[in-house]
């Protein structure tokens, strides 16, 4: 890539919320004034030191940031090549990176005087994070969750209810994450005055993709100074790797490195049963084409008539037919590389992390780890890989047990 392209990757989106041709504000007129108001509030908060002071305080004392940057020595040795670090966002309160973003949006909602918070969730991690922060601030919380996911993520449904949230099982459409997002948007259109829609990934209409990225960027910012601390001043990772559902943990890790030409960037999509014509995967970039859904233009899984297809993945958190618009742009410009990992490969990585590192990962970062397993052996020992361990696996042990043929009923 031409070097003069660097120093320009961190300037997006433009004033219309576009990253190149991607992004935008494809919403109904009823919502348009609301997202303009949100954009104005966010632009104000972004440059307000008191906003970030509140964030920093909660990140430190409530979430437990900074999360460690951990040298996975036995995994590194086992793979026999590149030196592998894990960014331990699975140690956050609530067990995933999702809370980084939720805190930002809820503080913003409070500044805007909104009292009713709605969210969509797939695996339930974003729902749990939202319910958690709402409990802390005494806000009403309604979480839309596909009926199918309500079933396969029962522990998270119970957690949300314990935290005082109302979980609405979504049966519209096919009852999946994208339908949960549709129902959340329908709720928002209906309750415009008091409601704040807390989106869980770097998708949706502008300003959500940029705002969620900014909140998640704490991940990459910490990696920068933590790696320098451990490897010497100025040392940057050679490769950063993260799993992608909508793409928020990945944008959070990638963004602070976009303008560093020496840093290779790899996003890992869910390949399900394999990226081919059967369409039993969630690899929007590798297996989709540009379209418009949920307020933005991005790569989507769709048929010839522009009807949206369901994704498929063992991981409920990656099961989304789209991807954040900034990823679509990084893909098309070539700044980042996107690959896919199958369910079987992710399951193997899941087990390896348990056995070699004593870390039970969520199935989502298991996809990122599976790609690390592919490339690390081919790279020299002084090559540093940082992968985002963005969630812990407690929520997934039932799914994994089933796939490994282990009977959990005692």
Partner 1 sequence: MSRIDAKFAELRAAGRKAFVAYVMAGDPDYATSLEIVRGLPGAGVDIIELGMPFTDPMADGPTIQLAGQRALAGGQTLAKTLDMARALRETDQTTPIVMMGYYNPIYSRGVDRFLAEAQEAGIDGLIVVDLPPEEDAELCLPAQAAGLNFIRLATPTTDDRRLPRVMQNTSGFVYYVSITGITGAAAAQSAEVAPEVARIKAATDLPVIVGFGITTPEAARDIASVADGAVVGSAIVKMIGEGRSTAEVLGFVASLAEGAHAA
Ligand X SMILES: Cc1ncc(COP(=O)(O)O)c(C=O)c1O
3 state DSSP class of 80 = coil
Minimum CB separation of residue 24 from partner 1 in Å reads 6
Cβ nearer to ligand X, comparing 288 with 391: 391
Binding pattern to ligand X, positions 314-353, x when CB under 6 A?
---xx-----------------------------------
How many residues belong to the chain? 410
Minimum CB separation of residue 234 from ligand X in Å reads 29
Q: Which of 39, 343, 357, 364 binds ligand X (CB under 6 A)?
A: 364
Q: What number of chain residues touch ligand X (CB under 6 A)? A: 20
CB neighbourhood size of 28 (10 A): 10
CA–CA distance, 15 with 10 (Å, rounded to integer): 14
What is the distance, to the nearest Å, from the Cα of residue 198 to the centroid of all Cα atoms in its chain? Answer: 14
Structure tokens at 312: 């498929």
Residue 248 sits in the site that holds ligand X (CB under 6 A): yes
Q: Which does 304 bind (CB under 5 to 8 A by kind): partner 1, ligand X, none?
A: partner 1
Cβ nearer to ligand X, comparing 133 with 379: 133
Percentages helix, strand, coil for the chain, rounded to the nearest 5?
45, 20, 35
Residue 246 sits in the site that holds ligand X (CB under 6 A): yes
Residues that bind partner 1 (CB under 8 A): 16, 24-34, 172-173, 178-179, 182, 185-186, 189-192, 291-295, 297, 300, 302, 304-308
Binding pattern to ligand X, positions 298-317, x when CB under 6 A?
-------------------x
CA–CA distance, 299 with 390 (Å, rounded to integer): 23
Q: Which of 58, 82, 123, 253 binds ligand X (CB under 6 A)?
A: 123
Structure tokens at 333: 């410009």
Q: Which does 25 bind (CB under 5 to 8 A by kind): ligand X, partner 1, none?
A: partner 1
Cβ nearer to ligand X, comparing 127 with 379: 127
Q: Which of 362, 370, 376, 400 binds ligand X (CB under 6 A)?
A: 362
For residue 355, say if its preceding peptide bond is cis, omega within 30 degrees of 0: no
Residue 272 sits in the site that holds ligand X (CB under 6 A): no
Residue 254 φ then ψ, to 5°: -75, -40
Say if residues 352 and 222 touch (Cβ distance below 8 Å).
no
Minimum CB separation of residue 29 from partner 1 in Å reads 5
Cβ nearer to ligand X, comparing 105 with 201: 201
Looking only at residues 199 through 218 of this chain, which bind ligand X when binding is defined by CB under 6 A?
201
End-to-end Cα, the chain, rounded Å: 56
Distances in whole angstroms, Cα of residue 291 to Cα of each of 148, 202, 204, 307: 25, 16, 13, 10
Looking up tokens 């449904």 gives: 157
7 contacts: CB under 8 Å, gap ≥ 6: 259
Report the interface residues with ligand X, using CB under 6 A. 96, 122-123, 125-126, 201, 243-250, 317-318, 362, 364, 390-391
């Amino acid at each position: 890539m031409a070097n003069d392209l660097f120093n320009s990757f961190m300037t997006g989106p433009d004033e219309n919320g576009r990253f190149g041709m991607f992004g935008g504000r494809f919403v109904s007129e009823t919502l348009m004034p609301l997202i303009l108001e949100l954009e104005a509030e966010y632009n104000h908060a972004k440059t307000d030191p008191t906003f970030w002071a509140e964030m920093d305080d909660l990140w430190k004392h409530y979430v437990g940031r900074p999360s460690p940057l951990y040298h996975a020595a036995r995994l590194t040795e086992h793979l026999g090549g590149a030196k592998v670090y894990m960014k331990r966002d699975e140690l956050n309160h609530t067990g995933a990176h999702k809370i980084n973003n939720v805190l930002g949006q809820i503080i913003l909602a409070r500044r805007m005087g909104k009292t009713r918070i709605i969210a969509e969730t797939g695996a339930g991690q974003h729902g749990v994070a939202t319910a958690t922060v709402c409990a802390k601030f005494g806000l009403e919380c309604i979480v839309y969750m596909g009926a199918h996911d309500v079933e396969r993520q029962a522990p998270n449904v119970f957690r949300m209810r314990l935290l005082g949230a109302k979980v609405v099982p979504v049966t519209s459409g096919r009852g999946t994450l994208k339908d949960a997002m549709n129902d959340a948007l329908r709720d928002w259109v209906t309750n415009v005055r008091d409601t704040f829609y807390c989106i869980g990934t770097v998708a949706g209409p502008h300003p959500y993709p940029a705002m969620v990225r900014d909140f998640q960027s704490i991940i990459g910012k910490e990696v920068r100074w933590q790696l320098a601390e451990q490897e010497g001043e100025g040392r940057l990772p050679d490769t950063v790797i993260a799993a992608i559902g909508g793409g928020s943990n990945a944008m959070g890790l990638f963004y602070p490195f976009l303008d560093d030409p020496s840093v290779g960037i790899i996003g890992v999509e869910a390949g399900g049963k394999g990226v081919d014509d059967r369409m039993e995967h969630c690899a929007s970039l590798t297996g989709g084409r540009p379209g418009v859904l949920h307020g933005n233009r991005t790569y989507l899984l769709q048929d010839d008539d522009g009807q949206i297809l369901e994704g498929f993945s063992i991981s409920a958190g990656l099961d989304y037919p789209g991807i954040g618009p900034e990823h679509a742009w990084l893909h098309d410009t070539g700044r980042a590389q996107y690959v896919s990992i199958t369910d079987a490969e992710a399951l193997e990585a899941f087990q390896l992390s348990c056995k070699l590192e004593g870390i039970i990962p969520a199935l989502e970062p298991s996809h990122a780890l599976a790609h690390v397993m592919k490339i690390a052996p081919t790279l020299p020992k002084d090559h540093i890989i940082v992968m985002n361990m963005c969630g812990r696996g407690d929520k997934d042990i039932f799914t994994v047990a089933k796939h490994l043929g282990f009977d959990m009923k005692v």
